Structure 1
Amino acid sequence: MIHKVGQVMLYVNDQDKAVDFWTEKVGFTVKAEEDNGQGMRWIEVAPTKEAETSIILHNKEFVAKMSPGLNLGTPSLMFFTDQFDELYSGLSNKKVTIGEIVDMPGGRVFNFADHEENYFAVMERK
């Protein structure tokens, strides 16, 4: 029986720039990095080392060659934060593309984009 989401695969064009974005701009940490020596490299990033769910950054071009037909689109991810205003300001100060704050029934929400224009959302959770 499934009891949690472990990893989310994110296929990117430039893994190094993706790592920089998630660590330097968003504040995530690198939990692990693997390279099989044959072109298959992946980097695991998460909000903290202890986080139960992480994002795996894969090379989109390599995965497309290995698994033709695989959906390489960006997953629609919603992150939660209890430091909503600080995160919004911090991303804005780091020149990250961010959307307007929207009031939703579950709380305030905004979206942000990475360097490849993949969009993600953040919801305030108190």
Structure 2
Amino acid sequence: MTETAKGTRFTEIGRVAVTVADQDRALDFYVNTLGFEKRADIPFGDGMRWIEVGPAGAPTGIALVLPREGQTAEGTETGLILTSADIDADHATLRSRGVDTDPEVQRWGAPVPPMFGFRDADGNSLMVVQND
């Protein structure tokens, strides 16, 4: 077995996909409510769009995709964890904007960072964790 056959040439996690029912509504939520930047909104195929958003300067983005044929866009646990420089301020900001957040920031004590969850416009769950 050669050295190159042992592994892959992956260099990063470029983006993750979140299934949404309405791309315009999701784009509005992620850009205007969360403050993400719109990185791409490209039509392709038969009336489809490739939409990517992400925090300004962050290397990994989120693709807002419609459900595949036979699937639905029911809210799901995305597994996405966002990092916050000020978790209390971000929690308060999201709550003031009407986002469905956990009632308060969870504080479990070291070494677990403070965290809270929230749901996007489609009910997809995301977490926010304090950056130490």
TM-score, length-scaled by structure 1: 0.84
Partner of 1:55: 62
Question: Of 118, 129, 132, which residue of structure 2 is paired with 1:123?
Answer: 129
Query: Which string of whole-angstrom CA distances, capped at 9 and with x for unpartnered residues, describes residues 9-61 of structure 1?
Result: 1111000000011011111010111101512212110001x32100011112x
What does residue 4 of structure 2 align with? none
Give yes or no for contact 2:44–2:50 (8 Å, CA) kept in 1. no
Instruction: Please say if 1:101 is aligned against 2:101.
Output: no
Looking at structure 2, the residues matched to 2 and 75 of structure 1 have their Cα atoms a distance apart, in angstroms, of: 22
Partners of 2:44 and 2:22 lie apart in 1 by: 17
1:95 match: secondary structure: coil
CA RMSD of aligned residues (A): 1.8
What is aligned with 1:81? 84
Q: Which of 7, 27, 30 in structure 1 is aligned with 2:15?
A: 7
User: Unaligned stretches of 5+ in structure 2?
Assistant: 1-8
* Counterpart amino acid of residue 97 in structure 1: D
How many angstroms apart in 2 are the aligned matches of 1:58 and 1:117?
14
- Opposite residue 40 of structure 1, the aligned amino acid is M
TM-score (norm 2): 0.81
Q: 1-side partners of 2:91 and 2:78: how far apart?
A: 21
Q: Distance in 2 between matches of 1:56 and 1:29?
A: 12
